[in-house]
């Protein structure tokens, strides 16, 4: 597309969050658009949201209803959405019934009526819902194919000549791509629904857009009381922000020394261990330290409600509740079980931008896995890879927690095998020393940085976690039952 | 379902505006018929013949018991509810009786619509007062 063309064709702002991005900027003004998909996927909602966003009394939107859902019922349901403004009906958005003409099967009568209404109202937008019902049983022979193609072409020519941005809504299947409307349409938006066990996820695919560089792939769609929202699919390739040499304090006394001076800014750190080892405590202290240092933070929680998280986090020196009120801290709680990775990223990025966060905590990956819709869980690693790539491209430092089951003498980082996407890994585990259950940890990996290689004890108290002694004088720690090989007293179980 | 006072007030305003300038019974009858035709056509334009007919049939059925005069001035036919004999009705029953009957019919219609799509949209749908002109269509309202 040349620069000259992009200046001629103006964008129509859709009013649907995320859709403009997917479309490569928005819909082309005066374009002839096909909105396709099975019943119930949100085609009508998509078009009406665009119409209510753009229609003005001097350039209204004409919404032609044809055979199918009775208009009164469509209005009844659509007005439940916040974008539907009853006061703008019919001054800006007008519902016109075409059933009589459509039922006659006479293409000329349908076209004549549409053009008469367009000439009378001078609309900026026209929708035909459902276009499919006008031409449901056609074409059956060559003459019908020609007649249908001619009708679609005349309709497109007429609407473009009247400077109308138009939407044809239809229940089409993949096997019907030879339909003439697919050829004539400037853009084709395909809505679908993935049903997997108890989860249903709506998706949008931009099959075709003339004059725009659209985002390929399937994008998650969610319909709420506010209307439709599209979550652009996170691209596989993300440009990572150049990491600085700055080190962030972890907030856990003794840990920064083990990590060569702290967590490198912009890193992705994984804290892994079995239940009860204090992963969340470490992550919470990382947040508290950031807040104490004047930074802002985002915490994505999956296993507890934000109120419960805040109540538990109150024990530290920093009052998390006050920080939330001061917009220094955002707690993101995402509805479990049918989440897409794109929605999660959108929610976290929105909060990062909202509070200006430099630290992000995901607590935990295990909870995130469960919260995802089954179709995303199938390839959790890919989902996480795209999510982390997108987050680190914003320059934030990410700490994630992951639960593993201690199986001695295995030494597992995480059940999700996600270590390849992390820069730093801390492994926590339980061992038995002199009849006491001790918590120990080791810094297993730090990309491009020196770090301690010894196991150390750590302690969880009402004041928080802190690192204890080195276990350099013990042998066989990974077996869970180490042997003291030094002289003098062993570790103090109380720290 | 009792008609809501708000709906009744709005319908009264609608009728009053239509017949305000008319003094003679025939002229009042014509004005009422004109208003009904406009409401019927507005409904048909938005909802189609079937949508309009279904609503008007229910309103007519619910109102005619209280206002038997409706069966004299209107009928349920294949082309919906038609008010063909308003002028004759006015001459036979008087302006107040016919006005009250049509008012009740429109109030019932409005309340049915309010229950379906919300009271704030009813008048927008029934009588948007020439906010836009409509193109000619195949099957005309009576």
Whether the Cβ atoms of residue A418 and residue A382 lie closer than 8 Å to each other? no
Q: Looking at residue A207, what is its pLDDT? A: 92
Distance of CA A375 to the CA centre of its chain: 14
Q: How far apart are CA A129 and CA A306, in angstroms?
A: 42
B6 touches chain A (CB under 8 A): no
For the cut 70, the answer to whether the pLDDT of residue A342 exceeds it is yes
Is B40 inside a domain boundary? yes
| pLDDT tens profile A272-287 | 999 899 999 999 999 9
Residue with tokens 């001076």: A261
Whether the Cβ atoms of residue A61 and residue A93 lie closer than 8 Å to each other? yes
Q: How far apart are CA A228 and CA A35, in angstroms?
A: 14
Helices (H), chain B: 5-19, 25-64, 69-73, 86-93, 95-117, 119-126
pLDDT tier at A370, thresholds 50, 70, 90: confident
Q: Looking at residue B3, what is its pLDDT? A: 60
For the cut 70, the answer to whether the pLDDT of residue B126 exceeds it is yes
For the cut 70, the answer to whether the pLDDT of residue A170 exceeds it is yes
Is B13 inside a domain boundary? yes
pLDDT tier at A69, thresholds 50, 70, 90: confident
Q: How far apart are CA B28 and CA B100, in angstroms?
A: 13
Q: Which residues of A touch B138 (CB under 8 A)?
A: 100-101, 104, 109, 113
The arithmetic mean of pLDDT across residues A384-407, rounded, is: 85
Is B142 inside a domain boundary? no
pLDDT tier at B74, thresholds 50, 70, 90: confident
B139 touches chain A (CB under 8 A): yes
pLDDT tier at B140, thresholds 50, 70, 90: very low
Mutate to test the interface with B, among A58, A75, A112 (most CBs of B within 10 A): A75
Instruction: State the CB neighbour count (10 A cutoff) for residue A319.
Output: 16
| pLDDT tens profile A223-274 | 999 999 999 987 765 656 666 688 999 999 999 999 999 999 999 999 999 9
Measured on CA atoms in the order A261, A262, A267, A269, is the torsion positive or negative?
positive
Q: How far apart are CA A366 and CA A486, in angstroms?
A: 38
Q: Which residues of B touch A116 (CB under 8 A)?
A: 135-136
CA distance A164 to chain B (A): 17
| pLDDT tens profile B11-45 | 999 899 998 888 899 999 999 999 999 999 999 99
Is B17 inside a domain boundary? yes
DSSP state of A236: S
Euclidean distance between the first and final Cα of chain B, in Å?
A: 29
| pLDDT tens profile A406-437 | 665 566 655 556 777 899 999 999 988 888 88
Query: Which tokens sit at A68?
Result: 């199918």
Identify the three-state secondary structure at position A167. Answer: strand
Q: How far apart are CA A180 and CA A168, in angstroms?
A: 12
B65 touches chain A (CB under 8 A): no
Angle ∠(A454,A457,A463) on CA atoms, nearest 5: 135
pLDDT tier at B7, thresholds 50, 70, 90: confident
Return phi, psi of residue B128, to 5°: -90, 15
- Residue of B55, B116, B124 lying closest to A90 (CB–CB): B124
Is B135 inside a domain boundary? no
Query: Which tokens sit at A158?
Result: 């007429």
Q: Looking at residue A411, what is its pLDDT? A: 60
Residue of chain B nearest A120, judged by CA positions: B135
Q: Chain-wide mean pLDDT for chain A? A: 86
| pLDDT tens profile A31-42 | 999 999 988 899
The arithmetic mean of pLDDT across residues A136-164, rounded, is: 78
Contact between chains at B132 and A113 (C-beta distance less than 8 A): no
DSSP state of A88: G
> Which has the higher per-residue pLDDT, A387 or B104?
B104
Lowest-pLDDT choice from A113-127, A243-257, B70-84: B70-84
B41 touches chain A (CB under 8 A): no
A25: left (phi over 0), alpha (psi -120 to 50) or beta: left
**Assembly ipTM:** 0.77
The arithmetic mean of pLDDT across residues A30-55, rounded, is: 95
Residue of chain B nearest A113, judged by CA positions: B137
Q: How far apart are CA B116 and CA B133, in angstroms?
A: 25
Among A85, A11, A15, smallest CA distance to A47 is for A15
pLDDT tier at B133, thresholds 50, 70, 90: very low
Is B141 inside a domain boundary? no
Q: Looking at residue A317, what is its pLDDT? A: 76
Is B139 inside a domain boundary? no
% pLDDT > 70, chain A? 89
Among A136, A170, A195, smallest CA distance to A33 is for A170
For the cut 80, the answer to whether the pLDDT of residue A173 exceeds it is no
% pLDDT > 90, chain A? 50
Q: How far apart are CA A204 and CA A215, in angstroms?
A: 11
- Residue of A94, A97, A98 lying closest to B132 (CB–CB): A94
Among A53, A58, A186, A185, smallest CA distance to A124 is for A58
Show Cβ contacts of residue B53 under 8 Å, excluding neighbours closer than 6 positions. B80, B81
| pLDDT tens profile A449-464 | 899 999 999 999 988 9
Q: Looking at residue B139, what is its pLDDT? A: 44
Q: How far apart are CA B66 and CA B69, in angstroms?
A: 9
Of these ranges, A228-242, B69-83, B91-105, B118-132, the one predicted with the greatest mean pLDDT is B91-105
Q: What is the 3-state secondary structure (H, E, C) of A319-369?
A: CHHHHHHCCCEEEEECCCCCECHHHHHHHHHHHHHHHCCCEEEEECHHHHH
CA distance B86 to chain A (A): 28
Question: Which strands, in side-by-side order, build the sheet including A297-301?
Answer: A329-333, A297-301, A359-363, A397-403, A268-273, A424-433, A436-446, A456-461, A464-470
Is B122 inside a domain boundary? yes
Among A425, A410, A402, smallest CA distance to A478 is for A410
Domain with B79 in it = 5-126
Residue with tokens 């007519």: B60
Q: Please give the helix or strand (H or E) that residue A312 lies within, else none.
A: helix A306-313
Contact between chains at A100 and B120 (C-beta distance less than 8 A): no
For the cut 50, the answer to whether the pLDDT of residue A357 exceeds it is yes
Residue of chain B nearest A90, judged by CA positions: B124
Residue of chain A nearest B116, judged by CA positions: A76
pLDDT tier at A70, thresholds 50, 70, 90: confident
Q: Sort A315 into a burial class: Cβ within 10 Å, 0-12 / 13-18 / 19+.
A: middle
Contact between chains at B46 and A91 (C-beta distance less than 8 A): no
- Residue of A72, A117, A121 lying closest to B117 (CB–CB): A72
Output b/e per residue, A346-373; b: 16+ Cβ within 10 A. bbbbebbeebebbbbbbbbbbbbbebbb
Query: Which tokens sit at A187?
Result: 């853009």
Q: Which residues of A touch B46 (CB under 8 A)?
A: 71, 90, 94-97
Q: Please give the helix or strand (H or E) that residue A160 lies within, else none.
A: helix A142-161
**Counted domains in chain B:** 1
């Amino acid at each position: 597309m040349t620069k000259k063309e992009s200046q001629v064709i103006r964008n129509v702002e859709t009013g649907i969050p995320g859709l403009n991005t997917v479309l490569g900027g928005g819909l082309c003004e005066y374009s002839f658009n096909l909105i396709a998909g099975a019943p119930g996927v949100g085609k009508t909602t998509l078009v009406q949201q665009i119409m209510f966003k753009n229609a003005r009394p001097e350039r209204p939107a004409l919404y032609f209803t044809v055979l199918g859902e009775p208009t009164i019922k469509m209005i009844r349901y659509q007005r439940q959405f916040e974008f539907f403004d009853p006061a703008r009906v019919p001054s800006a958005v007008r519902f016109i019934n075409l059933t009589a003409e459509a039922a006659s099967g006479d293409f000329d009568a349908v076209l004549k009526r549409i053009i008469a209404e367009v000439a009378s109202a001078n609309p900026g937008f026209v929708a035909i819902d459902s276009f499919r019902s006008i031409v449901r049983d056609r074409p059956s022979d060559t003459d019908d194919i020609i007649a249908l193609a001619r009708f679609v072409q005349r309709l497109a020519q007429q609407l473009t000549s009247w400077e109308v941005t138009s939407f044809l809504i239809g229940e089409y299947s993949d096997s019907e791509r030879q339909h003439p409307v697919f050829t004539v349409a400037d853009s084709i938006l395909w809505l679908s629904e993935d049903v997997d066990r108890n989860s249903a996820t709506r998706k949008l695919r931009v099959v075709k857009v003339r004059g725009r560089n659209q985002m390929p792939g399937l994008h998650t769609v969610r319909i709420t009381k506010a209307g439709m929202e599209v979550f652009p699919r996170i691209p596989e390739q993300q440009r990572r922000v150049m990491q600085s040499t700055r080190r962030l304090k972890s907030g856990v006394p003794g840990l920064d020394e083990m990590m060569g001076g702290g967590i490198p800014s912009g890193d992705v750190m994984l804290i892994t261990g079995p239940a009860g080892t204090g992963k969340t405590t470490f992550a919470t202290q990382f947040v508290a330290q950031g807040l104490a240092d004047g930074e802002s933070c985002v915490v994505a929680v999956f296993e507890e409600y934000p109120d419960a998280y805040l109540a538990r986090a109150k024990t530290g020196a920093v009052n998390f509740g006050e920080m939330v009120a001061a917009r220094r801290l955002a707690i993101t709680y995402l509805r479990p079980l049918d989440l897409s990775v794109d929605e999660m990223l959108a929610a976290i990025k929105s909060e990062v931008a909202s509070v200006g966060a430099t630290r992000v905590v995901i607590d935990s990956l295990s909870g995130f896995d469960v919260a995802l819709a089954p179709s995303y869980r199938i390839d959790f690693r890919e989902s996480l890879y795209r999510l982390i790539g997108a987050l680190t491209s914003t320059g934030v430092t990410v700490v994630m927690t992951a639960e593993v089951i201690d199986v001695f003498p295995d030494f597992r980082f995480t059940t999700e095998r996600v270590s390849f996407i992390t820069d730093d890994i801390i492994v926590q585990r339980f061992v038995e020393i002199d009849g006491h259950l001790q918590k120990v940890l080791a810094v297993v990996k730090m990309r491009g940085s020196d770090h301690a290689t010894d196991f150390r004890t750590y302690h969880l108290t009402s004041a928080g976690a802190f690192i204890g002694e080195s276990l350099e004088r013990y042998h066989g720690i990974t077996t869970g039952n180490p042997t003291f090989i030094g002289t003098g007293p062993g570790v103090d179980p109380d720290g | 379902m009792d008609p809501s006072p708000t709906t009744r007030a709005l319908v009264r305003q609608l009728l009053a505006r239509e017949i305000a300038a008319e003094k003679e019974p025939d002229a009042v009858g014509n004005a009422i018929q004109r208003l009904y035709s406009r409401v019927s056509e507005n409904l048909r334009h938005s909802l189609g013949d079937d949508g309009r007919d279904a609503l008007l049939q229910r309103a007519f059925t619910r109102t005619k018991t209280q206002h038997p005069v409706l069966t004299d001035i209107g009928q349920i036919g294949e082309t919906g509810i038609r008010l063909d004999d308003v002028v004759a009705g006015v001459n036979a029953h008087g302006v107040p009786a016919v006005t009250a009957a049509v008012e009740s019919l429109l109030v019932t219609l409005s309340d049915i619509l309010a229950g379906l799509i919300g009271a704030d949209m009813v008048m927008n749908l029934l009588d948007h007062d020439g906010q836009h002109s409509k193109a000619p269509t195949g099957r005309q309202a009576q």
